[in-house]
Amino acid sequence: MTVEMIFALIFLLIILLIFTEAVHRSLAAILGALLITVFGLLYHVFRYEEILGFLDLHVILFILGLFILFEVLREVGLFRFIGIALINLTRSPTGYMIIFCILSMLFTMFIANIPAMLIVGSLIMTISRELKLDPTPYIIASAIFTNIGGITFLISSIPNILVAHAFNITFMRFAEVSAPLALILALVTLGVFTKCLTPKASRLLPSEVRYDPWTAVKDRRSFEFSVIIFIATIVALAFHERLMVGMEFIVLGSAIAIMVLTRMDVGEVFKRLDWPTLLFLTGFFVVIGGLNKVGLLRLVADKIISICPSQSLLVMAFIWLTGLLSAFIDNIPLTMTFIPVTQAIIEHAGHFAQPLVWGLVFGANLGGSFTPIGSPSNIVALGILERNGLKGFFRRFFKIGAIAALIHLALANLYIFLRFILKLWP
């Protein structure tokens, strides 16, 4: 058996373990990294000293800084404050559909989709109990909108961070290209959901009933410091090239500053961080580095090019391939696998690099709406309903999510075609 076949089998084993959830994805990635290391050394594919070179510390430190920053912001109550304040704007089921969708997208732009879904989900369950509404349509809509929000900014999802770093995309350039599509998708989807998905109310809350957003805030001083630091961080990320520092330096500096100024318990903050995701990234970087070293990912790139000889066909196939795969495979390992494949394709035909890169971003994020297991926020949404004794989520999500994903990928494909292939604007 050749080393290429061994590495391919290891990769398939990891994907199978992640897909079936036989073990946690972080354990699957670490197991894969160990196997790749052992066989890579046995077959002299690389030297032991090269393994650390497979890790992208810029990405890992950037994500760690974001995790700390957003955990503190969540703890001081910023996101619940915004949510409660917006809920006071309406008293109708349609109004709540609009607000919950906007909140889901807004939170996902700046924090990971899992905490965004948890925050919005808790608000949905509270309001639904008050109004005696069916919360399932709101939960489904919110889960889908977290996937839309995931394409907006560089910090909106881990796949965005991975792609931006691999292809040297700045914070401002990412927003310039991706935010317009996110807005288009949000408006189209919101129009459909308000007409077809909004539940009927048995009664309306009196207009004088108001929720106090300050009940979400534990310490006003810490809250104010956190808001200032958060705004400063976003501004600094937007101009990080002029500051001549890496984005990971900015978010780590902000994370340290926010913990010092809010006097947050560092031990408690670190306990709640998403360490499994960081472990997963570390292990999977080694796996992808090994696959790349042995030449397997270049073979995949060559195969894709041979099947899709024309530029338009290749770009179209790329976004649909990544979109459909992300319906069943976690979008983080999918993105990490396709980054070197994309790089190999670009080396072969560099004149249309941008449509392929953005196809990977849009496909990996938007394809998660296809199935109830297609993204972490979908799974969290399912858990919220199950804990409240509500059933039928799988069937109802399939019915709505698959149509939404098809529309989103089709619009993303059209957007890429108009912007980068017809070059209607840069």
The domain spans of the chain are 3-54+78-216+274-421
Q: Would the pLDDT of 21 be above 80?
A: no
Predicted TM-score (pTM) of the model is 0.87
Among the residue ranges 31-45, 133-147, 298-312, the one predicted with the least confidence is 298-312
- pLDDT of 202 > 70? The answer is no
pLDDT recorded at residue 177:
96
Q: What is the pLDDT at residue 159? A: 92
Average pLDDT value for the chain: 88
Neighbouring C-beta atoms of residue 368, cutoff 10 Å: 31
pLDDT at 203 > cutoff 60: no
303 pLDDT higher than 70: yes
* pLDDT digits 0-9 by tens, 230-252: 999 999 988 888 888 888 999 99
d(CA 230, CA 308): 44
pLDDT tops 70 at residue 350 = no
pLDDT for the residue numbered 309: 72
Percentage of the chain exceeding pLDDT 70: 96
The pLDDT value given to residue 205: 53
In the block, residue with structure tokens 């909140």: 103
Q: What confidence score (pLDDT) does residue 384 get? A: 82
pLDDT in tens, 123-144: 888 788 777 788 999 999 999 9
